[in-house]
Amino acid sequence: MSDTPNPPNPQQAPPPGQKRIAIDIPKEITAVYANLAFISHTPGEMVLDFAQMLPRMPRGRVLSRVIMSPMHAKMLQNALAQNIANYERQFGEIRLPTNLADQFFRFPQQGGDKDDESD
C-alpha cells in the first residue's frame, strides 16, 4: 500500500517477487478532509469512519466509511508508519500536542463574546 498511486513506469521492473499493478482513479471522485476517525471491528473486519469536526461547531459528521479485513488494516498501519517516517525525514518531526482533545476540540467559554485568534 502506498500513499499515492503511481502509474507504472515501463522502464522500471517491479522488485523480485512483486507484480506491477495499475490503479485507476475516477475523474469524478471527491476527496474529503477528515480530522477525526472512529475505528471499530468484528472478528472478520475493521471499520474506519472518517469524520470532520469543525471549530466552534457542537457536532461533527462522518464523511466516509472504509471497511477492510484485519490483514489489510495491519498492512495499512505499516504503510502509514512508513509514510510518516518518510514525511518526517523530508519535512521534520510532526509534533503532537500533549492533549489532542483539548487542542483541537475545545469550545468557546460560556458568556464570552471575544474570539481568541490564537486557538
> Mean pLDDT over residues 27-48, rounded?
95
Nearest to 53 by CA among 65, 36, 66, 37: 36
* 10 vs 43, residue with greater confidence: 43
Contact 52, 33 (CB under 8 A): yes
Checking if the pLDDT of 18 tops 90, the result is no
> Mean pLDDT over residues 74-91, rounded?
98
Grid cell in block for residue 34: 477528515
The per-residue pLDDT for 90 is 98
Q: Tell me what the pLDDT averaged over the chain comes to.
A: 82
